[in-house]
Structure 1
Amino acid sequence: MQQVGSKAILAGAQVIDPRALPARIREPRRRLRNNVGRTWVLHRRRVVRIAAAVMALVAAGVLYQVRTPILDGATALRDVGLGQLGHTSFAIGEISITGQSLASEQSIFDALGVEPHISSVSFDAEAARQRIAELPAVKTVSIRKIYPGDVSVTILEKVPVARWRVDGVTFVVDAEGEQIGEDHGAYGELPLVVGDGAADDALVMIRALEQYPRLQDGLVALSRIADRRWDLIYDTGLRVQLPELGVAQALHRLDGYQSDYQLLDRDVTQIDLRVASIVAVRPTQSEEEDEDK
């Protein structure tokens, strides 16, 4: 290999001012690429953070614009999901009702408002409780959902204090005189009151009679007369007429006559106590006396 000395290289060289050399022509695209590359190398982390912030702002703006369709879609999915639950393991299958005697199971079930295929998740227990509480015989009610698909209803009914017969129908009434159900023979031990307005004042009269056990022997009904006063009706057909005022005193006098003279066991059809100072009785008339009249 032949070596060429520096003198040989410089033999044809010319001295030129560097400023006279032509400048390199760079294309704009190449310049932009170079600037981007330099920026990426020098400020990579900052660029990534700025880009992420911009993307987050853009995504938030997009979500805000489509918020209504998204909410509508979520609601629809929820409804579909609940409907599917109603058809599967969360469908209400068994309803237990306890504590009722006057209120019928059918009336309670109707007030529950359980429709076919409804799920225990979507069943509104509080609304159902309020509807059942409006039934005449119900004092309090509690409803418990037992997942996945059972409902328990516990009833506490009002206490009946008397039977009220009106227009051929016998109702059971509470202490307020409110009808809480019909008597179908299960409450025969309760006092029977008859007449218009009898239910309203029944409890007062029943409590007054409780002080005199002798007067309750053979008593079959309390009859309200013109919504003003009471008559006692016994199984022998005897009728005791009580005053409008001073009932307690009249009962005390009657109890004394029964204790001393067994007046209620005598052959009389009527005892009139409406005048405080007089006890009037009407003897039972024989058939001959009836014919003479």
Structure 2
Amino acid sequence: MFALRTGQDDRAGARFAGVGPVAALRERMVLPKWLRRPARLLKRLNDGEIAPPPYAATMLTVGFFAITGVYGAYVGGRMPDYAQAVTARTGFAVDEVRVIGHQHTSEIDILDQLGLDGWTSLIGFNAETARERVASLPWVEVASVRKVYPDEIEVQIKEREPFAIWQRGSELSVIEENGRVIAPFAGGALSGLPQVIGLGADRDAAGFIAKMAKHPEVASRVRAYVRVAERRWDLKLNNGMTVKLPEYGEEEAIVSLIAFDKQGGLLSRDVSAVDMRIPDRLVLQLTPDAMERRTAELDAQAKARKKAGKRT
């Protein structure tokens, strides 16, 4: 028994005699499948069966420093900037911005909100963040920002609808029909909008202007609608006349005003104010020139009566 075991041990020793430790290890274990191909490649390189390509050492060095740089950018939080720089220089730099649907919004303001610079990459550009910034502009109601590869950004907006110019003190603002302020009034094409003045005019203007639209004979002459004490309206006409409407029954008062104008041309006379606040009564205030002429007429009539009395 002892001799037999010894013989077996001798044969095992003969089997591994002259074999290196790596080879012996390979004989005794089986590598996982994913390591077999790299192991065979390393063995062939070690045995000289595969010759390394020219400048392999240089390429490995460059690759090592590139990986080190990428890792450093990742650790330092500069990976987005690194990706932007690389992709921008490989043909994906934003070269064109197309804006659709803007009328009152400046293209310069839109470009500022996009946050572009000379080397912004379309790949790293965050379209949703840019859309939120564009949507925050005063005139913009809805915005969409789309990337069009390889180098274009498309911005499409829907603007708010201007309804009137609201005056509070010396401040002028463009408002929507619901009274929401859009932006400060800057003149230009919006000058033709209705002007509403006073506290509460922004909130109540839409309903009242809708009533006035039924009476174009007066509405076409109105320069401004003035909200008085948040209770009633005054009409400022183009010729400088003021029509003071009552708190209740404003439409009936307007109908009466139209009738008076048809009968005697009231809205074209030298009258500075028409007061309709008292039911069943119309109070007229003459302009300074008309008042002077009226005073002169009354004086002339008084003198004429005086002379007539002396003769008798």
Give me the TM-score of the superposition, normalised by structure 2.
Answer: 0.67
Q: Which residue of 2 aligns with 1:114?
A: 116
Q: Which residue of 2 aligns with 1:150?
A: 152
* Residues 21-60 of structure 1 mapped to structure 2, 5 A cutoff: 26=7, 28=9, 30-34=11-15, 51-53=30-32
Aligned-CA RMSD value: 3.7
Say which SS state the counterpart of residue 286 (structure 1) adopts. Answer: helix
Gaps of 5+ in 2: 18-25, 39-66, 299-312
Residue 232 (str. 1) matches residue 235 (str. 2):
yes
Residue 125 (str. 1) matches residue 106 (str. 2):
no
Say which SS state the counterpart of residue 142 (structure 1) adopts. Answer: strand
What displacement does 1:35 show?
Answer: 9.1
What displacement does 1:116 show?
Answer: 4.1
What displacement does 1:202 show?
Answer: 1.8
Contact 1:160–1:175 (CA under 8 A) maintained in structure 2: yes
Q: Which residue of 2 aligns with 1:165?
A: 167
Residues 35 and 275 of structure 1: CA distance in aligned 2, closer, same or farther (over 3 Å): same
User: Which segment drifts farther, 127-136 or 248-257?
Assistant: 248-257
The residue type paired with residue 195 of structure 1 is G
Q: Deviations over 1:173-200 (max 9, x none)?
A: 1112122232322122211122233222
What displacement does 1:161 show?
Answer: 1.1
Gaps of 5+ in 1: 1-21, 37-46, 60-68
Q: Deviations over 1:70-93 (max 9, x none)?
A: 9x8498497434421123411112
The residue type paired with residue 251 of structure 1 is I
Q: How many residues align?
A: 250
What displacement does 1:130 show?
Answer: 1.7
User: Which segment drifts farther, 104-113 or 207-216?
Assistant: 104-113
Residue 186 (str. 1) matches residue 189 (str. 2):
yes
Q: Which residue of 1 aligns with 2:286?
A: 283
Q: Deviations over 1:215-245 (max 9, x none)?
A: 0233211122233321111122110011223
Q: Percent identity?
A: 30
Q: Which residue of 2 aligns with 1:11?
A: none
What displacement does 1:51 show?
Answer: 0.9
What displacement does 1:26 show?
Answer: 4.6
User: Which segment drifts farther, 147-156 or 223-232?
Assistant: 223-232
Measure, in 2, the Cα distance between the counterparts of 1:137 and 1:208: 27
Q: Deviations over 1:24-63 (max 9, x none)?
A: 9759464245499xxxxxxxxxx99x71338769x9xxxx
The residue type paired with residue 245 of structure 2 is L
Measure, in 1, the Cα distance between the counterparts of 2:10 and 2:170: 107
Measure, in 1, the Cα distance between the counterparts of 2:295 and 2:155: 62
The residue type paired with residue 209 of structure 1 is M
User: Which segment drifts farther, 190-199 or 135-144?
Assistant: 190-199
* Residues 211-290 of structure 1 mapped to structure 2, 5 A cutoff: 211-284=214-287, 285-287=290-292
The residue type paired with residue 31 of structure 1 is A
* Residues 131-142 of structure 1 mapped to structure 2, 5 A cutoff: 131-142=133-144
What displacement does 1:140 show?
Answer: 1.3
Query: Of 200, 204, 208, which residue of structure 2 is paired with 1:197?
Result: 200
Residues 106 and 169 of structure 1: CA distance in aligned 2, closer, same or farther (over 3 Å): farther
The residue type paired with residue 52 of structure 1 is L
Contact 2:244–2:273 (CA under 8 A) maintained in structure 1: yes
Measure, in 1, the Cα distance between the counterparts of 2:262 and 2:293: 32
The residue type paired with residue 30 of structure 2 is A
Say which SS state the counterpart of residue 135 (structure 1) adopts. Answer: coil
Residues 116 and 187 of structure 1: CA distance in aligned 2, closer, same or farther (over 3 Å): same
Q: Which has the larger radius of gyration?
A: 1
Q: Which residue of 1 aligns with 2:96?
A: 94
User: Which segment drifts farther, 210-219 or 252-261?
Assistant: 252-261
Measure, in 1, the Cα distance between the counterparts of 2:159 and 2:89: 34
Give me the TM-score of the superposition, normalised by structure 1.
Answer: 0.71
Measure, in 2, the Cα distance between the counterparts of 1:108 and 1:195: 33
Residues 94 and 268 of structure 1: CA distance in aligned 2, closer, same or farther (over 3 Å): same
Measure, in 2, the Cα distance between the counterparts of 1:210 and 1:104: 33
User: Which segment drifts farther, 273-282 or 122-131?
Assistant: 273-282
Measure, in 2, the Cα distance between the counterparts of 1:148 and 1:286: 76
Residues 237 and 82 of structure 1: CA distance in aligned 2, closer, same or farther (over 3 Å): closer
